[in-house]
Amino acid sequence: MPKIKTHTGAKKRFKLSKNGKVIRAHANKSHILNKKSTKRKRGLRKTVSADKTNVASIKKLIPYK
């Protein structure tokens, strides 16, 4: 069997935790920062786990991570 190519866009955006959860960054955090509160901007810096409906498709894109 040949190796599966990793999706280069996905490998930059997602990581896997030690338990196998898919970790992603928040969206909408890098522009129009004046109207966002400091508390909101600080929260958007943190990473979160991806929704369970998307996990299977993301794991196919990053098979060796």
DSSP string, the chain: -PPPPPPHHHHHH-EE-TTSPEEEEPSS-SS--SSS-HHHHHHHHSEEEPPTTTHHHHHHH-TT-
Residue 3 lies in a domain: no
Mean pLDDT by 10 residues, the chain (65 residues): 94 95 93 94 95 96 93
Enumerate residues 6+ apart whose C-beta is below 8 A from 16: 22, 23, 59, 62, 65
Residue 29 lies in a domain: yes
pLDDT computed for residue 30 by the predictor: 86
Domain that holds residue 55: 8-61
- Domain with 50 in it: what CATH number? 4.10.410.60
- pTM of structure: 0.82
Residue 1 lies in a domain: no
